[in-house]
Structure 1
Amino acid sequence: MGSVLVLIEKEMKYDFDEIIDRQGTNSLSVEGWKQSIFGLDRDATFSWPDNDFIRMWVADMDFATPPEVLEAVRKRVGQKILGYTKVYEQEYYDVLSAWFWKRFQWKIDLEHLVFAPGIVPALNQLVPLLIKSHEGILINTPSYAPFKKAGDYSNRQVYYSRLLNKDGYYEMDYTDIIQQLEDCSKNIKLFIFCHPHNPTGRVWTREELLRIGQVCLERDIWIISDEIHSDLLRSGQTHIPLAALFPEAEKLITCTAPSKTFNLAGSMMSHIFIPHVGIRKQWKQLYADYYSPLSIVATKAAYQEGEEWLEQLKIYLDDNFTYLQGRLKELLPKAGFRVPEATYLAWIDVSAYIEEQPQKDDLAGIFVDKGLLVNDGKMFVDHGEGYIRLNIACPRSVLEKGIQRFADALLNLG
């Protein structure tokens, strides 16, 4: 009985039901959606007042950043000077090492570590360092769009290997991957890997990781493994860093960040592990910048003091997904949905409701007319048609209203 009471007390420590007003904070989610989703001017008008929209699109959370992190930032501001700053203290690196070892049994090599303002900027910077203009990139689709954009940004050709969809459970098509990697006309030299996968939420197994790692490395293909969602697992799931399985691989780069884990996207602090000495040297020559002192203390506090908050967050997200699954079965029984193994993003197949509709090519527009902001599956490069990605990292009361609007939009088409 005592252990149950302790668990209840722990679950009550953080308030994930709190509704936080984000207006006036220059938030992409709240104030930048017109430009980002629809490519419109910020003064564009819709049928709903701006304040009445439910925002379930971009992948940051509507939960307060951990109070331990906010307190660390306040303390640093209290030191009154925000001057030129880098990470000089050993304790920062000790905290980082402890996190990766405790959570994933991965002994990071601090010699390999470089910093970036985010994983997307890191991808844009890495691509021209790793491959030449006539060499190609392979990604799995559906895909996080910046993977393709990283190739486009440097005028590198990007090729797609479609994930195999088995009733909502996605797997890599190794036959297709090998065929493309061995196609001399494509000259693919880089595989950008999403681990766990966005938008499908797959947590790749040890066997899958060993196979994809061997397929690429045996063919001398660079791998960038984006592991930003690695902390956001469902109960019972385990994340294995790809680099932990291939500790001697020089052509395997790992991208990590606290941004998704602790709702710190605006902090702009990512950790990139580059084992290759030559590439790491070039990176440091080009991108060894100063960093925000507030980002440094926020990141350190998150990894040092944020674990309990994270564990309670994961319980809340599990419950939100359970609620979502039940409501979809009740309201939209023809929708295809499987609770993801990781992330706080639901990948929902709504094609059964839109097949005969003229609006099927503008799903985001269908939902915005019901006061709901979502990500259309077409945003995920390829093989996402008929899907919606829904961000459920929000208070339950918001999720309840959002799912009702979601259903209303699909059931009242035409």
Structure 2
Amino acid sequence: MKYDFENVIDRKGTNSLKWDLFDDDIPMWVADMDFKVAPAIQDAILKRANHPVYGYTIVPNGLFEAYINWWDRRYDFKMSREDMLYSIGVMPSISSMIRSLTDVGDEILIQSPVYHVFYYVIEDNNRKVLENPLIYENGMYRIDFDDLDEKLSKSKMMILCNPHNPVGKIWSADDLNRIGELCRKHNVVLISDEIHCDLTDPGIKYNPFETSSSYDKVITCLSPSKSFNIAGFQSSVVHTKNKELLERIKVQMHVDNSDSCNVFATAAVMAAYNESEDWLDELREVLFENKQIVKDYLADELPVIKLVECNATYLLWLDCSELKVPSKVLSGFLRTNQGVFLSAGIDFGKNGDNFLRLNIACPQELLKEGLGRIKAGVIALNTINKGLY
């Protein structure tokens, strides 16, 4: 192995959201990784840091070219500079889109269980959440297209998670095309959040929405923050070929002050996309191996919890329905009893309450310690509940 994905890095005392916000021994919740970044990224940041002035920063064309070349090379998704906007993050971008493309009181559709911040960004902007619950059957998820058709008739906007967080699903090109046709039918603006797109199993690629559908009212949100573990630099882009939508979003992002640039962000992003591809591909191998460790461990040591089949992200969706315990109770007990923190499924929607979300983006030593604590916590809880499962 060329890169270091094995050594456990002490992140406490670094103002880490994951490690310093709470006093948990093993936090396995928020979506960042406990691995060192690619060396090229660290080198680029140190080089920029060596210049002693950190003033206001412009976004160079080289950053957009890095995005364009990456998606063309890896996904045959051809973008143009004039169709892109810079933003400090995917969720700030989506918030600006909601304000610029919908009205107060409008209904915005999401597919639950889904990233919990989707709920907040809709409700905090005084819009209404409309859910198209995913169908969970035989350990897998699929879209209820009949329900989607009905719900889109009431919606002004749809926010798609592609690949899907938390269930780890890569939507097929056929699925995306059907979604596009339904959005066209009901004249619904579609936002595709593709932030997890690079984190797929080895040999598998995701399908960009804009290469899978000809629908023209589509905006894609892209960022290297998950793929290269650089969320702290707050950098992303928005892409759409629809000039009217692009202009309205551009104006709103400027009003929201979400189009500014971190002084280190451009260096980090360009080093990621231009110089760190082999690091990412090695990371994908590591994450796939970690996923197999979890799968085997649950099957051999903790069969009461089932791993939902997935092929993207480093966030595993665990079916805990046999435990007959609400997810908040289960997550809370694992924290207080064992010091291991997983996300409660209820946070992702009511239909997520039988699940926990597990972040496996950490060295195997830490992952195995976490799994052991989960097992010990489940055994302790079962003892308290007098063997209900």
Confirm or deny a common fold (TM above 0.5).
Answer: yes
The amino acid across from 2:261 in the alignment is Y
Alignment of 1:181-200 (within 5 A): 181-182=152-153, 187-200=154-167
Instruction: Give the TM-score normalised by the residue count of structure 2.
Output: 0.93
Q: 1:310 to 1:360 in 2, by over 3 A?
A: closer
Q: Does 1:55 align with 2:27?
A: yes
Q: Does 1:391 align with 2:362?
A: no
Partner of 2:342: 374
Summarize deviations over 1:274-307 as a string: whole Å, max 9, x none: 3332332233334344311201110011000110
Percent identity of the aligned residues? 34
The amino acid across from 1:201 in the alignment is G
Q: Does 1:20 align with 2:13?
A: no
How far did residue 181 of structure 1 move?
Answer: 1.9
Summarize deviations over 1:374-394 as a string: whole Å, max 9, x none: 100011022101210000000
Q: Is the 8 A contact 1:203 1:237 kept in 2?
A: no
Which of 277, 283, 296 is 1:307 aligned to? 277
How far did residue 364 of structure 1 move?
Answer: 1.9
Q: Does 1:259 align with 2:197?
A: no
Partner of 1:325: 295
* Whole-Å separation in 1 of the counterparts to 2:365 and 2:74: 31
Q: Does 1:297 align with 2:267?
A: yes
The amino acid across from 1:400 in the alignment is K
Q: Does 1:31 align with 2:2?
A: no
3-state DSSP of counterpart to 1:362? helix
Partner of 2:387: none
Partner of 1:281: 247
Q: Is the 8 A contact 1:143 1:382 kept in 2?
A: no
Q: 1:111 to 1:319 in 2, by over 3 A?
A: same
3-state DSSP of counterpart to 1:283? helix
Partner of 1:341: 311
How far did residue 335 of structure 1 move?
Answer: 1.4
Q: Does 1:127 align with 2:98?
A: yes
Summarize deviations over 1:44-68 as a string: whole Å, max 9, x none: xxxxxx3x60111100000011111
Q: Is the 8 A contact 2:88 2:260 kept in 1?
A: no
Tell me the matched-pair count.
377
Partner of 1:229: 196
3-state DSSP of counterpart to 1:95? helix
The amino acid across from 1:207 in the alignment is D
Instruction: Give the TM-score normalised by the residue count of structure 1.
Output: 0.88
Q: 1:290 to 1:180 in 2, by over 3 A?
A: closer
Q: 1:169 to 1:360 in 2, by over 3 A?
A: closer
3-state DSSP of counterpart to 2:114? coil
Please, which moves more after superposition, 282-291 or 128-137?
282-291
Q: Is the 8 A contact 2:107 2:129 kept in 1?
A: yes
Partner of 1:146: 117
How far did residue 79 of structure 1 move?
Answer: 2.2
Q: Is the 8 A contact 2:167 2:308 kept in 1?
A: no
Alignment of 1:107-122 (within 5 A): 107-122=78-93
Q: Is the 8 A contact 2:104 2:125 kept in 1?
A: yes
Partner of 1:405: 373
The amino acid across from 1:22 in the alignment is R
* Whole-Å separation in 2 of the counterparts to 1:262 and 1:360: 30
Q: Is the 8 A contact 2:316 2:360 kept in 1?
A: yes
The amino acid across from 2:80 in the alignment is D
Q: Does 1:173 align with 2:162?
A: no
Q: Is the 8 A contact 1:140 1:163 kept in 2?
A: yes
Q: Is the 8 A contact 2:44 2:271 kept in 1?
A: yes
Q: 1:14 to 1:188 in 2, by over 3 A?
A: same
Please, which moves more after superposition, 119-128 or 341-350?
119-128
3-state DSSP of counterpart to 1:207? helix
3-state DSSP of counterpart to 1:406? helix
How far did residue 271 of structure 1 move?
Answer: 0.9
The amino acid across from 1:317 in the alignment is L
Q: Is the 8 A contact 2:139 2:309 kept in 1?
A: no
3-state DSSP of counterpart to 1:278? helix
The amino acid across from 1:365 in the alignment is G
The amino acid across from 2:88 in the alignment is P
Q: 1:151 to 1:391 in 2, by over 3 A?
A: same
Q: Is the 8 A contact 2:101 2:248 kept in 1?
A: no
Q: Which 4+ stretches in 1 moved above 3 angstroms?
A: none
3-state DSSP of counterpart to 1:141? coil
Alignment of 1:19-98 (within 5 A): 19-33=8-22, 50=23, 53-88=25-60, 90-98=61-69
Partner of 1:239: 206
* RMSD of aligned residue pairs (Cα, Å): 1.5
Summarize deviations over 1:75-99 as a string: whole Å, max 9, x none: 11112222211113x3333222110
* Whole-Å separation in 2 of the counterparts to 1:404 and 1:25: 26
Partner of 1:47: none
How far did residue 339 of structure 1 move?
Answer: 4.1
The amino acid across from 1:302 in the alignment is A
Summarize deviations over 1:101-120 as a string: whole Å, max 9, x none: 01110001221211111111
* Whole-Å separation in 1 of the counterparts to 2:350 and 2:79: 34
Gaps spanning 5+ residues in structure 2: where? Answer: 385-389
The amino acid across from 1:347 in the alignment is W
Please, which moves more after superposition, 361-370 or 224-233?
361-370
